[in-house]
Amino acid sequence: MTDRTGGQLLIDCLQGLGARHSFGVPGESYLAVLDALYDTHGALDFTLCRNEGGAAFMAAAYGKLTGQPGICFVTRGPGATNASIGVHTAMQDSAPMILFVGQVGTDMTGREAFQEIDYRAYFGTVAKWVVEIDDAARIPELVARAWSTALSGRPGPVVVALPEDMLTDVTDAAALSAPMIVDDPAPSQAGLASTRQALTDAQRPLILMGGGGWQAAGSAALQRFAEASDIPVLAAFRYQDRFDNHSPCYAGDAGVGMTPAVKALIREADVILAIGVRFGEMTTDGYTLLDVPVPSQRLIHVHVSDRELGKIYVADRAIHAESNAFATALATHPVTGDWADWRQRARAGYEAGLSLPDLPSPVDMGKVMAHLRDVLPDDAVLTNGAGNFAVWPNKFFPFGPDQRLLAPQSGAMGYGLPAAIAAKLVHPERTVVCFAGDGDFQMNCPELGTAMQAGIQPIVLILNNGVYGTIRMHQERTYPARVSGTELENPDFAALARAYGYHGERVERTEDFAAAFARALAAPSGAVLDLNISAEALTPRQSLSEIRAAGQAGG
């Protein structure tokens, strides 16, 4: 046994479990942890961030990308409340994450001391588990539970409060010394057999896949099964990167801006095999595509968490199994049926959705996306926050099997840049491109300082149209021509980027983009391209004027 402070024991336990990266903003409430991190450079690194919200987004994105808990350290009170946006995002993304929060000393608990918050009450509805460690000797026990809770079942965030005096207490408790292996539930033979039989009996079968925890092998197995069985596949909201979009079976994503073709597929399917999906509002078009609680479609729901089965829909068969294991087992015996026309129609609907008219904008994003499809590497990582601009990486970029999308299920603005920083930290050799609206970018643009200090070089594309686009779209539909609170006056983004040591330039015309992006790819510092987008091109297929006119006409 070795005497050490609670802060040292905490860091030793995280290293023993396999943590290699952490993100955070310093605070006096966890100085003992920062001191312990002084000795872990190259083993457990601390990425110094500019805001706790950005740090928590990085941890959430790290968890989503790697499948291992993203680690975030913040101080008490304001630090914790700032970080809460990342906890909420990790929960909705089903991404493993552990947020460590400094806390007032145990001798002050319950007095509303300086910056004191009851973290169990504050985070109780947005985290899988919240705990406060009052005894340094219990750090190994409770950190092990936090780690396993973040990973097991439906992955998600855990919040651990660290009283300041507990972190400086000395203990001889042994640190955790080995990574934790969490075995997930395997599919039963009966569940697999009933799934195959239901699909065989179908006339219009459909696979809906998504959720956290997918691995490359599981996605490949599902693709083999779908192609051998000739069944169309839809991805749930912002999980389209988990299935090869170039497959003849891929039919699009069920998410924001769902196309009529995708809605028709879900409505007309007679059997839906949903794997890993938690049936959020976006994937179901506001819970209208499947009747609640008993869908008219025959539903087979597979999920790693028993708490998701039957949560909204009564399935004909609810199968408690991990997605990758289920897909791998399913792929061993494809099914056959007379639905080739159904699959071909599904694929044709997706391919038709990639075609666009010329857009009324100096920089035409349809043509930008066509260029990016041609030049981005097969292992590129795309990120985005929230706003109408997100339609471009989400709807008009076909993801290959090794490309990734990091985008928030929570619809949180400001996620894209922190996510790009986390992705570039994990995969420095890969091209990482962040799509950001001008309003979205300014939510977390100081994190360019984090990237500069850490030597991280993503490429940021700012779709600068001078408006909060999503809200303006709804405003014009509901209160046409009464613009209020949605117009933006922006700084010189290229100059701002250069101030942070980035390559920065303004792209005025579509024909200038290819050369500018080539310069961005070549820039060793990373790059920010400020794209001149017209507010008139508010959506890919309906202009701002057309939206306003429809609103004035009453629909």
pLDDT at 115 over 80: no
Convert the pLDDT of each residue in 154-199 to its tens digit.
999 999 999 999 999 999 999 999 888 888 899 999 999 999 999 9
- The position carrying tokens 């100081």 is 446
Q: Residue 317 burial by CB count (10 A; 0-12/13-18/19+): exposed, middle or buried? A: middle
- Residue 252 CA to residue 440 CA, distance in Å, equals 25
DSSP 175: P
Convert the pLDDT of each residue in 315-342 to its tens digit.
999 999 999 999 999 999 999 999 999 9
- Residue 403 CA to residue 376 CA, distance in Å, equals 10
CATH topology of domain 4-171: Rossmann fold (3.40.50)
Angle ∠(168,172,178) on CA atoms, nearest 5: 100
Q: Which positions ≥6 away from 434 have C-beta within 8 Å? A: 382, 383, 384, 416, 417, 419, 420, 458, 459, 460, 461
Query: How many Cβ atoms from other residues are within 10 Å of residue 411's Cβ?
Result: 18
Q: 189-351 maps to which CATH number?
A: 3.40.50.1220
Helices (H), 389-468: 391-395, 416-426, 438-444, 447-454
| CA nearest to 203, candidates 272, 124, 101, 275 | 272
Query: How many Cβ atoms from other residues are within 10 Å of residue 194's Cβ?
Result: 15
Phi, psi (rounded to 5 degrees) for 129: -160, 145
170-171 and 21-24 strand pairing: unpaired
- Residue 327 CA to residue 103 CA, distance in Å, equals 43
- Residue 127 CA to residue 59 CA, distance in Å, equals 14
Q: For residues 288 and 313, is the Cβ–Cβ distance under 8 A?
A: no
Domain 4-171 shares a fold with domain 189-351 = yes
**Predicted local distance difference test score (pLDDT) of residue 184:** 87
**Predicted local distance difference test score (pLDDT) of residue 218:** 97
The average pLDDT across 238-254 equals 97
pLDDT at 310 over 90: yes
- Residue 242 CA to residue 123 CA, distance in Å, equals 29
> Strand ranges (DSSP E) for 316-373?
317-320
Helix axes 189-201, 323-330, angle to 10 degrees: 60
How much of the chain, in percent, has pLDDT values that exceed 90? Answer: 90
Run of H or E including 205: strand 205-209
Run of H or E including 122: helix 119-123
Query: How many Cβ atoms from other residues are within 10 Å of residue 268's Cβ?
Result: 14
DSSP 297: S
- Residue 100 CA to residue 52 CA, distance in Å, equals 11
DSSP 50: S
CATH topology of domain 365-552: Rossmann fold (3.40.50)
97-103 and 4-5 strand pairing: unpaired
**Predicted local distance difference test score (pLDDT) of residue 180:** 83
Give per-residue burial for 390-406: e unless 16+ CB within 10 Å, then b: bbbbbbbbbbbbebbbb
pLDDT at 137 over 90: yes
The overall average pLDDT reported for the chain is 95
DSSP 338: S
Q: HSE, CB side, 13 Å, CA atoms: give it for residue 419.
A: 33
Query: How many Cβ atoms from other residues are within 10 Å of residue 40's Cβ?
Result: 17
Domain ranges of the chain: 4-171, 189-351, 365-552
**Predicted local distance difference test score (pLDDT) of residue 537:** 92
The average pLDDT across 506-512 equals 98
Q: Which residue has the higher pLDDT, 106 or 432?
A: 432
Helices (H), 396-509: 416-426, 438-444, 447-454, 469-478, 493-499
**Predicted local distance difference test score (pLDDT) of residue 1:** 62
| Tokens linked to 38 | 């002084």
**Predicted local distance difference test score (pLDDT) of residue 21:** 97
Q: For residues 346 and 205, is the Cβ–Cβ distance under 8 A?
A: no
